[in-house]
Structure 1
Amino acid sequence: RGRPNDRSGNQRGPGVEKPERHFGTRARGSQWGGVARRGAHNASIDNGAPRPEPEPLAPPSGRSEDKWERERQQPKKVRSKRANNSVPVLELDLKYVQHLPKAERDRFVRRVNQAGDHFLEERFGEVEQILKPLVKKYRRVAELHELYGLTLYRLGRWGDALEQLQIFTDSTGDLTQLPVMADCHRALGRLDLVRKLWDELRMAGPEASVITEGRIVMAGALADVGDIAGGIRLLEQGPVKVKRARDHHVRLWYALADLYERAGDHQRARRGFQRIEQVEPDFADVSGRLASLS
């Protein structure tokens, strides 16, 4: 199953970015990010070779496996004021713009929140138009580089996305966008760099959702080069059997079911898609996949 191309001929990645880190729980992974956003090809992950070392089975204490957000202290954050409080809003650290005149600071916050609105509506061209000049003018605001990098990722501009996300990672020490960076390398055919980031993730032991996204990307990269059996092994080592399914669990199930189908194991593939349908009936193209396997 191929990876769809954008207009420039680049392959699209699985969409492992997590906008809910900015916009709240309404921006669910199955709706705004994760393997489901990009369809069946996202499950075509890793053929995965065995890991050189055992992977931590649980996130460090004090961190929720259900959240993918920064744990470090933030001096000050500003939320935009909106009439409709149900609309997710972007949280922005204003540490590096506090010295600006109030009018300029307010304009900055307003523009960033407009970019957030466009991102949630998948108007990524508009997001880029807003963020490109802001990133140049306010280089020290890490969140700008993060959101701009995710936008470029969604536009299929892998190299540019990597540059922005690397700035964010270097300036914050936050590893939560490593799966997105790995998927950019995957789209560029750099299996060695995908594996390098996957190893870094495993050694760091981040939240379960982060490492699961990294696992999916690594498995997809392996499957891209024909190692479907390895991808299945890698995914099977993840949190497949859970009592309470989170978004990242469902994405893992989808990836695994897709690889089962590609490997010709239609019985396991059907069971995997059925499991997803039971907890998330509208997830990606699960209904169609089941119909094709019946």
Structure 2
Amino acid sequence: MADPDLPDDIDIEDLDPSVLQDLRSLSKDNGEAVAKHMIMAATWMDDDPKLALRHARAAKDRAGRVSIAREVNGIAAYRAGEWKEALAELRAARRISGGPGMLAVMADCERGLGRPEKAVELGRSEDASLLDRESAIELAIVVAGARLDMGQAESAVITIQRAQPSRDDRGMSACRLSYAYANALAEAGRVDEAKEWFEHTVAIDEGDWTDASERLAEL
């Protein structure tokens, strides 16, 4: 399949300088083409995931040895629901660059492939201990979801508790963690506690990130 068209007015300087630095290993023309496809992949990720994935694949095909190109392809594939491709690309990115990588996304891909036990394994991996706070929260949320997939609601509650949800925290990550905790408690039949955490989620949900108010009304 031919590469998707690129608009004439793309400015590659819109990319993070560290990404542009990584692309300097390519020829000038190829590096610029990769940068433009990556920008278009990011541009279309929400509104047209399939088109975003075409741009991400075009970037990857031109820069297969560049970690960030593989990572963008993986994220775009994930957003488009192409779990197997996403997992393969994110693994490739980690092999090239090292580090814990996109563990939460990889774990969610395992769930998408019907392998929740693999998601739980990623949550226990050595790399999981290397994640920053925000990434660790995202991984905990995914692993708790995997536990629910397996019908292990109390284990899901414990998974979230280990991520230390706090009523003092604010922001999207804190909101998502609070919601996941409330959801796990509800699934475990601990309705009164679930209500408390859904109420807290509503109180800190500044950007309408969740449907906590609707969930609260259902309990």
Which range, TM-score by smaller chain?
0.7 to 0.9
User: Are the equivalent residues in 1 in contact too, given 2:83–2:112 (CA < 8 A)?
Assistant: yes
Secondary structure in structure 1 of the residue aligned to 2:12: coil
Query: Does residue 41 of structure 2 align to residue 109 of structure 1?
Result: no
Contact 2:23-2:31 at 8 Å conserved across structures: no
Q: Contact 2:137–2:173 at 8 Å: present in 1 too?
A: yes
Query: Counterpart of 2:20 in structure 1: which amino acid?
Result: D
Shift of 1:134: 2.2
Between Structure 1 and Structure 2, which shows a larger proportion of helix residues?
Answer: 2
Aligned length: 206
Within 5 Å, give how 1:94-243 maps onto structure 2.
94-101=21-28, 103-119=29-45, 121-201=46-126, 204-241=129-166, 243=168
- Kindly state the Cα deviation for residue 147 of structure 1 after the two structures are TM-superposed: 1.1
- Cα deviation, 1:119-169, whole Å, max 9, x if unaligned, reads 2x3321111121212212211221111111011111111111100000111
Aligned residues of 2:71 and 2:93 also touching (Cα < 8 A): yes
Q: Structure 2: give runs of 5+ residues left out of the alignment.
A: 1-10
Once the two structures are superposed, residues 161-189 of structure 1 have per-residue CA deviations (whole angstroms, 9 ceiling, x without a partner) of 10000011111113130111111112222
Q: Distance in 1 between matches of 2:202 and 2:148?
A: 24
- Per-residue Cα deviation, 1:226-278 (whole angstroms, up to 9, x for no partner): 11011112212222125332322211111111122222222211111111111
Match of 1:285 among 203, 211, 219: 211
CA distance in 2, matches of 1:236, 1:161: 29
Q: 1:232 to 1:202 in 2, by over 3 A?
A: farther
Q: 1:93 aligns to what?
A: 20
Q: CA RMSD for the aligned pairs?
A: 2.1
Structure 2 CA distance for aligned equivalents of residues 157 and 266 of structure 1: 35
Superposed, 1:75-90 pairs within 5 Å as 80-81=12-13, 89-90=14-15
Inter-partner Cα distance in structure 1 for 2:129 and 2:183: 28
> Which residue does the alignment assign to 1:28?
none
Q: Residue type matched to 2:37 in 1?
A: R
CA contact under 8 A between 1:201 and 1:214: conserved in structure 2? Answer: no
* CA distance in 2 between partners of 1:255 and 1:99 (Å): 42
Distance 2:72 2:98 in 1: 16
> 5+ unaligned residues in a row in structure 1: which ranges?
1-78, 82-88
Please say if residues 239 and 249 of structure 1, whose CA atoms lie closer than 8 Å, have aligned partners that are also in contact.
Answer: no
Distance 1:155 1:197 in 2: 22
User: How far has the Cα of 1:104 moved from its partner?
Assistant: 4.2
3-state SS, counterpart of residue 95 of structure 1:
helix
Residue 110 of structure 1: CA displacement? 2.4
Greater relative CO, 1 or 2 (CA 8 Å, sep 6+) = 1
SS, match of residue 93 in structure 1: helix
Matching of residue 266 in structure 1 with residue 198 in structure 2 = no
1:203 positional shift: 5.7
Determine the C-alpha separation between the residues in 2 that align with 1:131 and 1:105: 14
Cα distance change, pair 240–90 in 1 and its aligned pair in 2 (3 A): same
Q: Secondary structure of the residue that 2:216 maps to in structure 1?
A: helix
Amino acid at match of 1:93: L
SS state at 2:125 partner: helix
Identity of aligned residues (%): 24
